[in-house]
Amino acid sequence: MAEFLISDLIPRSDEHRQREGGEYTYERRCRQVLMVDSQAGLARDLQMTDGQYNASLSIFFVSYALFEPLTNVLLKRLRPSIFLPLTMLLWGIVMVTMGLVHNFSGLAAARWFLGMTEAGLFPGVNYYLSCWYKRSEFGIRAAVFFSAAALAGSFGGLLAAAISLMEGVGGKHGWAWIFILEGLVTIIAGIVSYWMVHDFPDEAKFLSADDRRRVLRRLKEDQQSSAQHEDFKMEYFWASVLDWKTWAFATIYMGCDGALYAFSLFLPKIITGLGYSSIRANLLSVPPYAAAAILTVFIGWLADRTGQRGLCNIGVSFLGIIGFSMLLGSGDPGVQYAGTFLGALGIYPCIANTISWVGNNVEGVYKRGVTLGVSFPSCHPCSEKKLTYRRLLSDGGT
């Protein structure tokens, strides 16, 4: 475990990735809830058309993409111990209000604010971790953090299906209770996080003065600007926006993320199409996600050791190509189910590895933060809208 720690004297610092992974699990669950709620009667009860339901899904990603590039600047200025818990608290409150809406307008407004409040977590946590660890240590931590997405995908559907059985309790529909209960859990997690999230190394109160110097010395040896204080200037923002690497990484991430949304949206539908009931389909969707989480962590470790993040992405992508080919080219249920494993294995490791790739190749505290924010929301609005509409058509509407 020595290589996992900042130093032998400060083992608690490695708890960051576990805590932030838990926060990301809540975020991924919040993104998935509306898809489950559509099957619990949300669109019918709110008297929404297919187009309105599709718009309520898509508007989340519009505000998410608009606000994400600037959130890392706020993270640096407000401190992680304030910004990250506040982000969770606000989106938990918005989640609860989604369970209280009565029409399309209310749902669309809530979805807009949900995207705005969630925008800071994903790039923020990765930026935060990149300021604590050397380049050769960042990959596996980003992988552990992102593996929370696979865990959310594994059990999210089952959890929401169980909550939806509360139909009629308190005069509310089952879908409303999904929003309310998961929002309340997120609020509690956000409040508790205030005492669990530490600030940047030069301000971390849980470290002694000697340990802070040791952490900063390690970062300085890795030639990281996060080892020094840096005041914000607009030139750092423009340096990121005008850097070709920012847009190259955004394009790479777009390729990974498009496949991720296609897989996460359609996996239950694929397994149901093999002839299994919805409950069993949810159960059978757990193993592919679990396998993806394991490989994500392994690839993070391997890329750290070899320094070849691009080659790791290329190698893992072939698994996804084979998996999707099996889904498209075979009518045998066993072959198709095996294809879902390879599909997941070929998608999830690429996301976390690309995050590390970006963080490793951009220097300057604020420039790196803006670059991480610009790169990650690159494909959310368009891909989600198209994939959701295709799902609505395949399901025959709501």
The pLDDT, as a whole number, for residue 229 is 62
Average pLDDT over every residue of 66-94: 86
C-alpha distances (whole Å) from 17 to each of 22, 137, 142 are: 9, 12, 7
Residues, the chain: 398
Range name among 9-18, 102-111, 211-220, 311-320 with the lowest pLDDT average: 9-18
Please give the distance of CA 49 from its chain centroid, rounded to a whole number.
29
Average pLDDT over every residue of 74-91: 87
171 burial level (CB within 10 Å; 0-12, 13-18, 19+): exposed
Give pLDDT tens digits for 12-49: 444 454 445 455 454 554 555 554 444 447 777 888 88
Task: Tell me what percent of the chain is helix, strand and coil, each rounded to the nearest 5.
Answer: 80, 0, 20
Query: Residue 396 carries which side chain, given as an amino acid letter?
Result: G
> What domains lie within the chain, and their CATH numbers?
12-226+242-395 (1.20.1250.20)
Range name among 149-153, 179-183, 344-348 with the lowest pLDDT average: 149-153
Residue for token pair 């935060």? 128
For residues 104 and 262, the model is more confident at: 104
Q: What is the mean pLDDT of the chain?
A: 77
